[in-house]
Amino acid sequence: MIIAGLEFKPGKTERLEDNIPFRDVFLTGLIRDKHGVKMSKSKGNSPDPLDLIAKYGADGLRFGLMRIAPSGQDFSFDEKQIEEGRNFATKLWNAARFRQMHGPSEAAPRLDDHALSIYSLEVLARFDELLLAIEAAFREYKFNEVAQRLYDFFWSDYCDWFIEAAKTEIFSADEARKKSVLAVMDFVLSGFLRLLHPFMPHITEELWSVLGLSSGAGGSIQFVSPPQPALSSMDPGMLAEARSKVAKIYETVEAGRNLRASARIPSNKKARFILRPAPGTDAQEVPTIARLLNAEELCLDPKHQAEAGVPLAITPLGELYLLIEAGDQSVERDRLDKEIARLEGELRTVAAKLSNASFVDRAPAAVVQEHRQRKTDFSEQLAQLRKARAAMD
Amino acid sequence: MSELPKTYEPAAVEPKWYARWEEAGCFRADAHSAKPAFSIVIPPPNITGILTLGHVLNNTIQDILARRARMQGFEVLWLPGTDHAGVGTQTAVEKHLRKTENKTRHDLGREEFLRRVLDWQDKHGGIIIQQLKRLGCSCDWSRQRYTFDEDYVRAVESVFVDLYGKGLIYRGRRMINWDPSAQTALSDEEVIAKPQKGSLYYVRYEIVEEPGRFLEVATTRPETIMADTGVAIHPGDQRYAGLVGKHAWRPLAREKIPIVADEAIDPKFGTGVLKVTPAHDKIDFEIGQRHQLPVIDVLHPDGKINCPATPELDGLDRFEARKKAAELLQERGLLSKTEPHENNVGFSQRSEVPIEPRLSEQWFLRYPRTKEALDVVRDHLIRFFPSIGKKFTRNGSRTFRIGASAARSGGGIAFRRGIAATKLACNSNRPGPIGTRIRIPWILGFHPGSGPMRRWTRRRGRSFIRHRSSSPRQTSSSSGSRA
**Would you list the DSSP string of A292-313?**
HTTEEEEEE-TT--PPTT--EE
Beta-bridge partner residues of A205: none
B382/A25 CB distance under 8 A: yes
Given pLDDT bands bounded at 50, 70 and 90, which one contains residue A328?
low
Please, how many CA atoms are within 13 Å of residue B136, restricted to the half-sphere of its CB? Answer: 34
Nearest to B57 among A11, A69, A197 (CB): A69
Answer whether residue A35 shows pLDDT above 90: no
Q: Where in chain B is the domain with CATH 3.90.740.10?
A: 189-357
Q: What share of chain B is helix, strand, coil (3-state, %, to 5)?
A: 35, 25, 40
pLDDT value at residue B318: 94
Q: Read off the pLDDT of residues B408-446 as tens digits, 9 standing for 90 and up.
A: 333 223 222 222 222 222 222 222 222 222 222 333 323
pLDDT value at residue A217: 60
A65 within some domain: yes
The alpha carbon torsion through A65, A71, A77, A82 (nearest 10 deg) reads -20
Phi/psi of residue B67, nearest 5 degrees:
-70, -40
A202/B57 CB distance under 8 A: no
pLDDT value at residue B413: 30
pLDDT value at residue B363: 77
Would you tell me which CATH number, out of the four given (3.40.50.300, 1.10.3210.10, 3.90.740.10, 1.10.3720.10), belongs to the domain B189-357? 3.90.740.10
- CA A27 – CA B152 distance, rounded (Å): 27
CA of A288 to nearest chain B CA: how many angstroms apart?
27
- CA A75 – CA A66 distance, rounded (Å): 11
CA of A111 to nearest chain B CA: how many angstroms apart?
23
Look at residues A327, A348, A376 and tell me which one is the last residue of a structural domain. A327
A89/B10 CB distance under 8 A: yes
pTM score, two decimals?
Answer: 0.74
Pair A275, A370 in one domain = no
Pair A185, A313 in one domain = no
β pairing state of B383-385 and A24-26: parallel
Look at residues A327, A354, A379 and tell me which one is the last residue of a structural domain. A327
Q: Is A315 helix (H, G, I), strand (E, B) or coil?
A: strand
A80 within some domain: yes
Q: Read off the pLDDT of residues B332-383 as tens digits, 9 standing for 90 and up.
A: 999 999 999 998 899 988 788 999 998 887 777 888 888 888 888 888 888 8
pLDDT value at residue B46: 83
Pair A307, A337 in one domain = no
Cβ atoms of residues B406 and B362 within 8 Å: no
Burial of residue A299 (number of CB atoms within 10 Å: 0-12, 13-18, 19+): middle
pLDDT value at residue B255: 93
User: Please, what is the Cα angle at A134 between A128 and A135, to 5 degrees?
Assistant: 90
Answer whether residue A57 shows pLDDT above 80: yes
**CA distance to B209, B229, B362, B476, per residue, from B291 (Å):** 20, 10, 21, 16
A274-283, B137-146, B181-190, B293-302: segment of lowest average pLDDT = B181-190
Cβ atoms of residues A389 and A333 within 8 Å: yes
Pair A79, A199 in one domain = yes
A201 within some domain: yes
Question: In terms of CA atoms, which chain A residue is nearest residue B11?
Answer: A57
Cβ-proximal residues to A201 (8 Å cutoff; 6+ apart), any chain: A59, A222, B17, B63, B67, B136, B138
pLDDT value at residue A48: 92
- CA B466 – CA B459 distance, rounded (Å): 16
Q: Read off the pLDDT of residues A178-199 as tens digits, 9 standing for 90 and up.
A: 999 999 999 999 999 999 999 9
**CA distance to A311, A321, A322, B211, per residue, from A272 (Å):** 11, 8, 6, 109
Partners of A1 on chain B (C-beta within 8 Å) are 419, 425, 437, 440, 443
Cβ atoms of residues A368 and A360 within 8 Å: yes
Answer whether residue A393 shows pLDDT above 90: no
Pair A37, A173 in one domain = yes
**Which percentage of chain A shows pLDDT scores above 70?**
98
Please, how many CA atoms are within 13 Å of residue B483, restricted to the half-sphere of its CB? Answer: 20
A165 within some domain: yes
> Secondary structure of B19-31 in the HEC alphabet?
HHHHHHCCCCCCC
Would you tell me which CATH number, out of the four given (3.40.50.620, 2.40.50.140, 3.40.190.10, 3.40.50.12160), belongs to the domain B10-168+367-449? 3.40.50.620
State the best of A1, A15, A78, A144 to mutate against chain B, taking most chain B CBs within 10 Å: A1
Amino acid letter for position B44: P
pLDDT value at residue B389: 63
**CA distance to A245, A341, A382, per residue, from A254 (Å):** 14, 19, 18
B64/A198 CB distance under 8 A: yes
Burial of residue A53 (number of CB atoms within 10 Å: 0-12, 13-18, 19+): buried
Closest CA to B47 of B138, B103, B118, B98: B118
- CA B256 – CA B259 distance, rounded (Å): 10
**Which percentage of chain A shows pLDDT scores above 90?**
52
Pair A204, A297 in one domain = no
Mean pLDDT estimate for chain B: 79
Q: What is the CATH number of the domain that holds A83?
A: 1.10.730.10
| Orientation angle between helical segments B10-24 and B127-135, nearest 10 degrees | 110
Closest CA to A324 of A306, A305, A340: A306
Interface of A with B in 38-57 (CB under 8 A): 39, 41, 46-50, 53-54, 56-57
- CA B102 – CA B91 distance, rounded (Å): 14
A192-206, A312-326, B29-43, B123-137 — which one is most confidently predicted on average? Answer: A192-206
Across A27-176, the runs of DSSP E, i.e. the strands, are 31-32, 75-76
Cβ atoms of residues A66 and A144 within 8 Å: yes
pLDDT value at residue B340: 94
**Which percentage of chain B shows pLDDT scores above 70?**
79
Partners of A26 on chain B (C-beta within 8 Å) are 61, 384-385, 424-426
- CA B159 – CA B443 distance, rounded (Å): 10
User: Please, what is the Cα angle at B45 between B126 and B88, to 5 degrees?
Assistant: 85
- CA A175 – CA A172 distance, rounded (Å): 7
Q: What average pLDDT does this structure show over A66-88? A: 92
Burial of residue B292 (number of CB atoms within 10 Å: 0-12, 13-18, 19+): exposed
Beta-bridge partner residues of A194: none
Q: Where in chain B is the domain with CATH 3.40.50.620?
A: 10-168+367-449
- CA A104 – CA A99 distance, rounded (Å): 8
Tally of residues, chain A: 393
- CA A198 – CA A194 distance, rounded (Å): 8
Pair A315, A343 in one domain = no
DSSP H or E segment with residue A26? strand A24-26
CA of B428 to nearest chain A CA: how many angstroms apart?
7
Mean pLDDT estimate for chain A: 90
Pair A40, A130 in one domain = yes
A10 within some domain: no
Pair A393, A281 in one domain = no
Interface of A with B in 276-305 (CB under 8 A): none
Question: In chain A, how many domains are there?
Answer: 3
Answer whether residue B402 shows pLDDT above 70: no
Cβ atoms of residues B432 and B39 within 8 Å: yes
Nearest to A62 among B26, B60, B369 (CB): B60
Residue B74 is classified by DSSP as -
Nearest to B8 among A49, A93, A198 (CB): A93
Pair A77, A180 in one domain = yes
State the best of B2, B14, B429 to mutate against chain A, taking most chain A CBs within 10 Å: B14
Q: With an 8 Å Cβ cutoff, is A140 touching chain B?
A: yes
A207/B4 CB distance under 8 A: yes
Tally of residues, chain B: 483
| Orientation angle between helical segments A79-101 and A201-211, nearest 10 degrees | 10
pLDDT value at residue A120: 96
Expressed as residue numbers, the domain containing A381 is 328-393
A63-77, A87-101, B148-162 — which one is most confidently predicted on average? Answer: A87-101
Tally A–B CB contacts below 8 A.
229
Q: What average pLDDT does this structure show over B6-23? A: 96
Q: What average pLDDT does this structure show over A155-159? A: 97
A26/B377 CB distance under 8 A: no
Q: Read off the pLDDT of residues B223-240 as tens digits, 9 standing for 90 and up.
A: 999 999 999 999 999 999
Q: With an 8 Å Cβ cutoff, is A103 touching chain B?
A: no
- CA B117 – CA B410 distance, rounded (Å): 11
Amino acid letter for position A131: L
> Cβ atoms within 10 A of the Cβ of B106, count?
12
pLDDT value at residue B234: 94
- CA A345 – CA A165 distance, rounded (Å): 33
pLDDT value at residue A172: 86
pLDDT value at residue B235: 94
Given pLDDT bands bounded at 50, 70 and 90, which one contains residue B1?
low
Partners of A20 on chain B (C-beta within 8 Å) are 376, 381-382
Pair A79, A175 in one domain = yes
Q: What average pLDDT does this structure show over B459-464? A: 29
Pair A140, A194 in one domain = yes
Nearest to B369 among A7, A46, A205 (CB): A7
- CA B234 – CA B237 distance, rounded (Å): 5
Cβ atoms of residues B419 and B369 within 8 Å: no
Q: What is the CATH number of the domain that holds A376?
A: 1.10.287
β pairing state of B335-348 and B191-206: antiparallel
**Which percentage of chain B shows pLDDT scores above 90?**
47
- CA B321 – CA B252 distance, rounded (Å): 12
